Amino acid sequence: MRSPVAKQRESRWVKAVVSRIVRFVLWFVTKPDWKGTENVPARDGVIIATNHLSLVDPLTVAHFLYIGARRWPTFTMKDGVMKIPVVRSVAKSTGQIPVKRGTTDAVKALKEAELALTRDGSSVIFYPEGTCTRDPGLWPMSAKTGVARLALTTGVPVVPVAHWGEQHILPYGAKRPRLFPRKRLEFLAGPPVDLDRFRGKPLTSTLLKEATEVIMDDITGLQAKIRGEQPPAVRYDLKRARLDRAARDEGPAAGEGDGTATGAAE
C-alpha cells in the first residue's frame, strides 16, 4: 500500500485527466499488443527497465504499464523537458522525477527514485541506455549502470520490458510524426531479472557492469522474440562509436583522453 507521503507526490485529478488524454490519443494512432503483463507485480516497488526506440516511448511505455499492467508509471525525466511550463506542472502533479545530468542533482534524483521504490511502492521506469538507440538495427545498446546499482541497493525486482514499433511513428531525429495509418506496437514483459549472484557483494564497477549486461541481455532477448530476429553478437557502444568517429574526423589527437562525463547514473 502506498504511503501518505506518496499521495502528496501525485494529484488524483491530474492523473485522471492525463491518463484519459493519453489513452485517447494512443488508441487513435496505435494498435498495441501487450504480452507478459502478469510479470509486473501488482503492488510494491518495481523497476521497469526497457529499451528506447523513439521520443514517443514515454507515452507508449506509460500506456502499457498503466492500462496493461495496472500500475501508475513514474519516470525519471530530463531537466530540459521539465523546463516546459505545462509539462513541468503535469510531471510534478503525477509524481515524475526530474534529473539534471552530470550534476549532484542527478544523485538526488536517484535518491528520490530509491524512495519512490522503497517507501512509496512505485513502479519506476528506466531506460538503461540513457538515450534512444543508435544501433543500425535498432537493437538495445550498451547501458549505464544506474539501474543495476539501484536494484542491488534497494532489493526491488527489475522487470525487463521490450517494445517495437514506435520507430514507425517518430524515428529518432525526425521532427514530424507519422500518425496514419495506425501503427502496430508490440510489448513483451519478462519475469524479473535474476540478479541473485550479485547480491550481498561490494558494488564494484566490474560487478555493476556485469549486472547491467544481464539486464540488457534480458531486454534484448525479449525484443528478439518480438522481432523474430537474431540480435548482434556485440552490443552497440555509443560512447565508443563517438570516440571512433572523432578519431576518424580529427586524426590521432582526438583519441587522447576521454573528457566524456559519465553522469550520476553511472
Residue 233 has pLDDT above 90, yes or no: yes
The domain of 120 spans: 4-254
Residue 260 lies in a domain: no
Residue 265: the pLDDT is 43
- pLDDT above 70 coverage of the chain, percent: 82
Per-residue pLDDT tens over the stretch 242-252: 999 998 888 65
Domain count across the chain: 1
Q: For all residues of the chain together, what is the average pLDDT?
A: 86
CATH of the domain at 213: 3.40.1130.10
Q: What are phi and psi of 100, to 5 degrees?
A: -100, 105
**Per-residue pLDDT tens over the stretch 41-51:** 999 999 999 99
Range in 3-7, 118-122, 170-174, 255-259 with the lowest mean pLDDT: 255-259
Query: Is 264 domain-assigned?
Result: no
Q: Is the CB of residue 186 less than 8 Å from the CB of residue 33?
A: yes
Residue 263 pLDDT > 70: no
Domain membership of residue 263 (yes or no) is no
Please tell me the predicted confidence (pLDDT) of residue 83.
66
In this prediction, residue 68 carries a pLDDT of 95
Residue 255 pLDDT exceeds 90: no
